[in-house]
Structure 1
């Protein structure tokens, strides 16, 4: 059974605005990690808000865990979905890191003994346990986002939606969050959807969905994505530097089995690549 399913969904923000999504269909299976990428305005962030019930489509249906989302059950369904926004400060409500993680648990009536266990465990998972008594607003960007992830994970969601979760971070903070996401993927049975425009983040995913003007342009694997690198550029996405280098070297006789996305992949691929005859 699909965990997330969009069926012929249409959405726009007002009657005079163009459609953000048009007859949009998407299916995501359980325990799958999917990147949804696209240029600004392509509809990718709207997908996350619709899946979480923050927005309601004008037409079509959204199904979560085999249940059609309706006004009467949206609050119940939302309990199984965690959403992390690009600006973590928008999610802070507590005066300390520990209080912030506890907030969602208190709202759900989790018993105190269980709450303490969950707080300690999730802060440990994101490597923020030593900062539990710090004020969230005094942390670095990467640390703030890790606290936001911990606050969501403490509620034990079955689905984690990351909406541009690294877009406001510097390279160090981005690296911290990607490492955290990778640990969660390895340690937990979790369906994860990463909304991003940064193609270097897709290395953690099982599948990549490319959006263009409210429609799916391409639904493929990470390994096959850049086989159509000209098409990827045509929909407004910038190729990773390593992919650009591999393309350039290919014009000078080097053969790469797949296009490397990060520097380590590039060096490994360059070491094993063969010159064409």
Structure 2
């Protein structure tokens, strides 16, 4: 028996790259998968039903079960239709993998409002909206006395956690927000039987190949038969484990790249300075610098 037999999963941004690998492995482990992808370009423009359907066809060819979805998860209504499709088609929902993303890199002084808003919408709202509708479904089931064992896996980034990247203030802010969103959602949804974790993956994708200063690193060829540390396939096993009903982890953020997985921690306290009375500007100048 596969580890996820009978489970229903949604993967957003699953038409290519990391999301595609998630969908393929979830299906290989027995899950019935809703493959969501708007099919746009790196910057989110345009639509194309082809990528999502191609992954569905791959899953079917391998003996799995999947359906395609091309709703825009950066909208409340689109996310609701996605979640409802999973429930209507397969009768339930157990796993939500929020993965969809775009890039509109620009230095802050020259960034347009649209460049900022579009990245925040796809990444941050594109996590919040599907999670909202999935959470509402799981809450209603739990309130009705049903047993819920569900998992949400979010996608943060090194750019938003431990490796800030110039030119990505929009992307980094969204990804940092996703890490914080994960911790809050984990705290809220545990009472309904839902675990929420996040990954911060490093892998070769359309987006990383297009990132200034990084494309050459990811584009290096790996000799046939050797381990490829930047293959997006390296990321999916962690997602499948976090999705498994026997996994107890929640509120975690993991950096994952190649054969390495590192648990990340957020802001932590450092050096503390104290005063017996009110601070003065001079005191702070002397003690903080």
Scaled to the shorter chain, the TM-score interval is 0.3 to 0.5
TM-score w.r.t. the length of structure 2 is 0.34
Q: Which has the higher contact order (CA 8 A, sep 6+)?
A: 1
* Structure with the higher fraction of residues in strand conformation: 1
TM-score w.r.t. the length of structure 1 is 0.35
